[in-house]
A = this chain, B = another copy of it.
Amino acid sequence: MNEVIQTFEGWYSLHDFRTINWSSWKYVSPDERAQASEELATFFHDWKLTEDSNLGSSVVYSVIGQKADLVFMHLRETLEELEELKIAFNKTTFAEHTLPAYSYVSVVEVNSNMTKPDVHPLEDPDTLARLKPILPAAKHICFYPMNKRRQGGDNWYMLSMDNRASMMRRREIIGGAYTEQVIQIITGSIGLDDWEWGVTLFADDPLQFKKLVSELRFDEVDARYSDYGDFFVGNRLDAARMETMLKI
């Protein structure tokens, strides 16, 4: 008996967290700084073109605290494109003044429970839009990876599919109450990275991250069956704000 719930997958995702080496960045020559700025501007421009062609989506946020200074989140059709983005960035002048802080590889995932009954998900424009989402221009981002727990009496993977489905429905009601305030993108990473899912939240009011995640934590799915990795919170950067940030 196959107990795996069917999922549909869309764009592959790379969360790329970087720390700026300010001590070296402060001392680059004006020429080098100009070149670095131009390279970054070109990236922002290219990412916009990709997005306009509906071939992917990219956003950049400034991370609060010491865990990282920047996070680039990229959605693309293939792992090959994510590799290309990574290598292209690593060859830039600016990248010489950054250090890797954390990264996450996953793929946008929609659960079959969440698709419409009378249309094939991959022919439903709503589902397709969720599988290949244009990332929102929200003021704040929150990212954390998570697992379903497999510990003694609290083993999600030993529950029946019905039991899991009914628990997930209750949980989705909570998330549903926040659709106005928080946009949530679930990416699956079983077989791709160390945790089972990545959760990326977008909101204009960062307090909504706290309210939503707190409410979920009291729901049985999270209370008994979920473990979390690190949480990262950031403020949106567009090309102009990033230039200001990097000005010395």
Contact = CB atoms under 8 A, between A and B. Distances in A.
A215 B64 contact: no
Interface in A159-214: 188-194, 201, 206-207, 209-214
Contacts of A240: none
A8 to B, nearest CB: 10
B191 A213 contact: yes
A194 B230 contact: yes
A67 B105 CA distance: 10
A74 to B, nearest CB: 11
A65 B14 contact: yes
Interface residues of A, number: 76
Interface in A11-46: 12, 14, 16-17, 19-20, 22-23, 26
B79 A140 contact: yes
A209 B224 contact: no
B91 A64 contact: no
Contacts of A151: 151-152
How often does this chain occur in the complex, in copies? 5
A142 B79 contact: no
Contact of A4 (B150, B193, B215): B215
A2 interface: yes
A152 B150 contact: no
Interface stretch (A49-57, A95-103, A112-120, A125-133): A95-103
A110 interface: no
Contacts of A153: 152
Contacts of A155: 223-224
Contacts of A14: 64-65
Contact of A218 (B22, B157, B191, B211): B157
| Nearest 8 A/B pairs, CB to CB | A191-B213, A157-B223, A66-B103, A191-B209, A65-B103, A66-B100, A3-B218, A191-B210
Interface of A: 2-4, 7, 9, 12, 14, 16-17, 19-20, 22-23, 26, 62, 64-67, 79-80, 82-83, 86-87, 90-91, 95-96, 100-105, 107, 140, 142, 150-155, 157-158, 188-194, 201, 206-207, 209-215, 217-218, 220, 222-224, 228, 230-231, 233, 235, 245, 248
